[in-house]
Structure 1
Amino acid sequence: MKRLTLTQRLSVVFALLLLACCGATAWLYVAANDQYQQEVVQQLSSDLARHIADSRALMDAEGWKPESVRTLFAQLMAVNPSVEVYLLGSDGHIEAEAAPPGRIKQSKVDLEPVRRFLDGDPLPILGVDPRHSTLRKVFSAAPIRVDGQGRGYVYVVLQGEAHDALAAKLSGSAVLRTTLLSILLVGLLGLAAGLVAFALITRPLRALTHTVRNFDGDGAAAAALYRAGDTEGRADEIAVLRRAFAQMGQRIAEQWRELTRQDQQRRDLVANISHDLRTPLTSLHGYLETLRFKDDALRRDERRRYLDIALGQSRKVSRLAQELFELARLESGLVQPDLETFALQELVQDVIQKFELAAEARRQRLITEFPRDLQPVRADLGMIERVLTNLLDNAIRHSPPGTCIQVRLGSAGQAVEVRVSDNGPGIPTALREGLFTRASALGQQHRESGGLGLVIVQRILQLHRSEIRLLDEPGQGAVFWFALPTTHSPSSA
C-alpha cells in the first residue's frame, strides 16, 4: 500500500478538521436554535400562569376548589394541547394535575427556577418537568393568593408531551431535511474552498521540496532559491524556511568545495612527496649499486665521495619523512599546545646560536633586534622553537653568501610580533599563492629544504590562533611575520 506524502496527509487532516468544524457549527446552530425557540416560547407565554391565577378562584380559605380546577384543566387542554398545568403548594408539592395515571415522575417541583422567573431573571429559565425524571423545560409561573397571602403557585410547562411527540414526528420532515442538506452543502463548499486555499498555501512548500530533491553539491539550486526568496519579499514561515534552506545549502556547497580543494591538495601533496622521495632514493640507490659492483675498481677518494653523496641523499629522505610524520601529527588533532609563559627574546637567542656555524660557513650574518620592555608570551615553547628553526633554516639555505638575516621582535598591543627577513632573491610571485598550503609549499625552490617547513610553521601557529604571513618590504628578500599573545592577552587566559 502506497504511503501518503506529508502534503497529502496534511490535506486529509485539514479536510477532517474542516468537516469537524462544519459539524460543530451545525450542532451549535441547532443548539442555539433550540435555545432561541425556548426563549421565544417562554417570552410569549410568560403571563399565561398569571392570567390563569387571576381569572379563576382556584382556592379559598378552605383549600383548593376541585370543580374549578377540573374546568380549568379541560379548557386549557382544549385550547393549547402542548401546555401542561400544575397547581403547586407553597412548598412545591403538586396539589392538582391533569396527567393520565402513572405519568407523573416527580411529585415535587423545585421552586428555585420559579423564584428566578418571578424575579424577572433573563430568559430562558428551565424548570422541572413532573412527567420526566431528569428533563427540564421552559415554563410560566404565578403565585396564588388568598386574602393577600401566598398559598401556592400555578405552574405551566409550555412544551409538554404533546409538543415533544409532534416535534419527534416532524424531525424527518422536508423542512428539516432541507435544513440539514443546506448545512451539508455549505460544509462541502467550505471543504472545497479550504482544499484550494491549502493547495495555494502549500505550493511554496512543494517547490521547496522539489529543490531539496534536486540539491546539487555546487550550491546552484540553493543560490537560485535564495534569490527567488529575496525577490518575492515574503515573510511567512515557508519563506523563512526557504531562506534558511538556501543558507544551509550555500554553506554545504562551500564546505563541499573546501573538501574538494583539500582533497586536491592531498593528491598534489602525495604526487609531490613521491617526486621528492624518488629523486634522492634513485640517487642513493645508484651510488650504492656503484659501490656494490665497482668496489674493487674504485679508488679510496672516489669511494669516500660516493659514500658522502649517498649519506647526503639519505639525510634528505630522513628529513622529509620526519617532516611528513610531524605534519601528520599536527593535523591529526591529537597534538595541542602546552602553553607556558616565557621570554621570546631568550628563545630567539638560543635558536640563533644553533645556526651560527651554518651561517659562518656561508659567510652570512645573523642579526637580532629586541626592545627592552618586551612582554613575555604565552605559547608552547617547543612548537615556537620549531617555527623559528624552520624560518631561519629556510633563510640561510635560500640566501646567497655574504647576505644578512635578521630576526626582529616588537610589541603590538597585547601581542609580540616576529619578523624573519633576509637579503636573498625572495619568493617568486608564482609560488606565493598558497605558499603555506600542502601543495604549493613543494615548489621547485623549496624542495632543497624538504618542502614542508612552511606548512608545519603555519599549522603550529594555527594551533596558537595565529598565522604566518609573507610581507612585501622594499629592499628585502623574503619577510615572514607572525604574532604571539602576551600573558595579558585575553586569548592567553
Structure 2
Amino acid sequence: MNRLFNRLFLVATIISLMLFVALWQWLQLNHEFSRNQIQQSLHQELADHMAHINPLLSKGITSDAALKEAFHDFMLLGPSFEIYTLDPDGKVIAYDAKEDKIKNHRVDIGIIEQFLTGQSLPILGTDPRSNNTQKIFSASKLINADGLHSGYLYVIIGGEDYDSWQALINAENQPKIWGATIGFWGIFALLLFVMLLRYFTRPIDKLARDLNQLTALPMSENLTLPKRYRGSVEISQLSQHINHLLQEIQQQQQQVKRQQQTKHDFLLHLSHDLKTPLTALLGYIDTWLILPADERDEALIQYAANSGQTLQQLLAQLLELAALENGQIHAQLQSVELTELLSEIQQTFTPRAKKLGVTLNFEQVNVSSILTDPQLMRRILNNLIDNALRYTPTGGEITIFTQQDCNQGKNQQWLAVKDTGSGMHQHEVEALRQLSLSPAAVQQDKLTFDNNQALPQLGVGLAIVRQLLGLLKCKIEVQSQPGIGSEFKIELVTQF
C-alpha cells in the first residue's frame, strides 16, 4: 500500500465509485423526470374527457353521491388513476377511497392553474393520499348549468396502486440492475484506471529502476540518468536535478581525491623537512658521543641545539597549519600602524641576519595605517622573512619595502619582501598565485580552492602564508627565479 501505484489506484477507485453513485442518482432523477413528462403529456386531456363523458361532471356537479360510482368505473378502466373533485378553493369533495386514506384535504390551486395555462410539463401537484408527496396529474375546470365555475376534476396519474406495484417490481429487479451495473462499471473502471495509472506511473518506476542501477555502480564512473523521460514535465525536471547533483557529487569526490593525493605529497615533503634537522641533530649528538672526552667540541652541541630549534619551529608551524585548516583561527581586523609592526619584526630578525651574514634592509614606508589583524600579519611577515633567511646565502640581501601601483585609476599599496636567495620553482610560484576565495569562505573566514585546484606543493611556512592571506582576504604576487631570488608582494588594505 505504500507504493505510489497502489495509493493512486485506491484513491481512483474510491473516486470512481463516488462518481458512479452520483451518476446513477442523476440518471434515476432524469429517468423519473422523463417518465413523468411523457405520462403527463399523454394524459394531459384525461380530465377533460372524463368530465365530458360523465353526465354529472359535465353539468358541474362535484358532490353527488353518484360520482363515487362513476369514479369507481373510471378506475376500473385505469387502475393507476385516482379521481377527485375539488371546490373552487381546492378542497377535496368527492373521491373513491376510504376516508382514512385521505391525508390531505386541500389541493394547491396555483399548481392546477399552471397546468391549465399550458406551462411546461411535468408539473407535480398535491397528492391527497400523502402529506409530503407530489405527483403528476390531469385537471379540468367544472362549469355548472348557470355557466359558473363550480370546481375542478383532479386526476392523479400513477396513484397508490401504481406506486405499490412499481415498488414491488423495483424491489425484485433493483438488485439485479445494481449488481450488473456495478459489476460492469467496476470492471470498466478497473481496466481504465490500471491503464491510466500504469501510463502515468511508468516514468516514476523507470526513474526508480535507473536509480537502483546507479547504486550498484562505483562513484568513479560517469554516473548519469537517461536524458529524457516520457511523462510529465516534473519527472523530466527531477531527472535533470538528479543528474546535476550526481555531477556535483562526482566533482566533489574528484576534488577530495586530488586533495588527499596532494596532502599525501605534502606530508612526504614535510617528512623531508623534518627529517633533515632531526638527522642533523642526531648526527651531531652521535659524533659528540663517540669522540673521546678530551676531544669533544662544544660547537657540536651548539649545532645540535640549532637543529633542535629548527625541528621545534617546524613542528610549531605544522600545528599552526592544522589549526588554520580546521578553522580554529579567525581574523580580527583593526587599524594597525605599519611602521610599528615592521619595527617589531626588524628587532626580531636583525640579530639572526647578522649571525648569518645576510643584510636585512627595512626601507622607509609611505603607508601609515592599514586594516588588518596584527597577529596574523606578523605571522605572515615572520614566515616570509624566516623563509628568505633560510634560503639566502651569506652575503645576500633581504629588503622589506612598500610600493604603490595605479591600476585602472585605483591606487594599490603593496608590502614587498625581496631576497637574493635560491629562488622558487615555477610550480611553487603558481601554487601561491592560485589563491582564490569563495563567498562562503569569505563569510566563514576560511580559505577554499576551486574544484579543479589542487592544494599547493609548498613548504610549511609558505603553506601557512597562503592560509593566513585567505583569512585576511589579501592578494599576493610572487616573482621568483631559481638562483636569482624571490619577491613577495602583499596587497595592503588602507581604506576603513
For normalisation by structure 1, the TM-score amounts to 0.74
Deviations 1:167-202 (A, max 9, x none): 334437789957863664354234313212221221
2:167 corresponds to which letter in structure 1?
Answer: A
**In the TM superposition, what is the alpha-carbon distance from 1:203 to its structure 2 partner?**
1.6
- Contact 1:458–1:467 (Cα < 8 Å) also in 2: no
1:34 corresponds to which letter in structure 2?
Answer: E
- Contact 1:222–1:247 (Cα < 8 Å) also in 2: no
- Contact 1:86–1:96 (Cα < 8 Å) also in 2: yes
| Alignment of structure 1 residues 321-470 onto 2, 5 Å | 321-342=315-336, 347=341, 351=345, 354-355=348-349, 361-364=356-359, 366=361, 377-399=370-392, 401-403=395-397, 405=399, 407=401, 408-410=403-405, 416=412, 418=414, 420=416, 422=418, 424=421, 426-431=423-428, 434=431, 441=456, 451-465=459-473, 468=476, 470=478
Deviations 1:266-292 (A, max 9, x none): 545555544543443344345445556
Determine the C-alpha separation between the residues in 2 that align with 1:250 and 1:42: 77
Q: Give the match for residue 99 of structure 1.
A: 97
Q: Give the match for residue 252 of structure 2.
A: 255
The structure-2 alpha-carbon separation of the partners of 1:128 and 1:204, relative to structure 1 and needing over 3 Å to count, comes to same
The structure-2 alpha-carbon separation of the partners of 1:208 and 1:93, relative to structure 1 and needing over 3 Å to count, comes to same
Q: Give the match for residue 162 of structure 1.
A: 161
**In the TM superposition, what is the alpha-carbon distance from 1:39 to its structure 2 partner?**
3.7
Determine the C-alpha separation between the residues in 1 that align with 2:67 and 2:490: 117
- Contact 2:277–2:307 (Cα < 8 Å) also in 1: yes
- Contact 1:129–1:135 (Cα < 8 Å) also in 2: yes
Pair 1:246 & 2:243 matched: yes
The structure-2 alpha-carbon separation of the partners of 1:178 and 1:318, relative to structure 1 and needing over 3 Å to count, comes to same
Task: Provide the aligned length of Structure 1 versus Structure 2.
Answer: 469
Deviations 1:406-426 (A, max 9, x none): 553557688955464645554
The structure-2 alpha-carbon separation of the partners of 1:280 and 1:394, relative to structure 1 and needing over 3 Å to count, comes to closer
1:462 corresponds to which letter in structure 2?
Answer: G
1:248 corresponds to which letter in structure 2?
Answer: L
- Contact 2:140–2:153 (Cα < 8 Å) also in 1: yes
Secondary structure, in 3 states, of the residue corresponding to 2:293?
coil
Secondary structure, in 3 states, of the residue corresponding to 1:81?
coil
Q: Give the match for residue 206 of structure 1.
A: 205
Point out where structure 2 has 5 or more consecutive residues left out of the alignment: 436-448
The structure-2 alpha-carbon separation of the partners of 1:132 and 1:425, relative to structure 1 and needing over 3 Å to count, comes to farther
Secondary structure, in 3 states, of the residue corresponding to 2:79?
coil
Q: CA RMSD in A?
A: 4.6
The structure-2 alpha-carbon separation of the partners of 1:434 and 1:127, relative to structure 1 and needing over 3 Å to count, comes to farther
| Alignment of structure 1 residues 34-45 onto 2, 5 Å | 34-45=32-43
Determine the C-alpha separation between the residues in 1 that align with 2:338 and 2:70: 121
1:457 corresponds to which letter in structure 2?
Answer: V
Q: Give the match for residue 219 of structure 2.
A: 218
The structure-2 alpha-carbon separation of the partners of 1:31 and 1:453, relative to structure 1 and needing over 3 Å to count, comes to farther
Identity %: 28
The structure-2 alpha-carbon separation of the partners of 1:164 and 1:395, relative to structure 1 and needing over 3 Å to count, comes to farther
- Contact 1:359–1:366 (Cα < 8 Å) also in 2: no
The structure-2 alpha-carbon separation of the partners of 1:426 and 1:289, relative to structure 1 and needing over 3 Å to count, comes to closer
The structure-2 alpha-carbon separation of the partners of 1:474 and 1:218, relative to structure 1 and needing over 3 Å to count, comes to same
Determine the C-alpha separation between the residues in 2 that align with 1:143 and 1:370: 125
**In the TM superposition, what is the alpha-carbon distance from 1:205 to its structure 2 partner?**
0.8
| Alignment of structure 1 residues 286-305 onto 2, 5 Å | 286-288=283-285, 291=288, 296-299=293-296, 302=297, 304-305=298-299
Determine the C-alpha separation between the residues in 2 that align with 1:452 and 1:158: 109
Q: Give the match for residue 447 of structure 1.
A: none
- Contact 2:126–2:135 (Cα < 8 Å) also in 1: yes
Determine the C-alpha separation between the residues in 2 that align with 1:481 and 1:110: 108
**In the TM superposition, what is the alpha-carbon distance from 1:241 to its structure 2 partner?**
1.5
**In the TM superposition, what is the alpha-carbon distance from 1:402 to its structure 2 partner?**
3.5
Determine the C-alpha separation between the residues in 2 that align with 1:377 and 1:73: 121
Deviations 1:102-127 (A, max 9, x none): 33344445667556666776655544
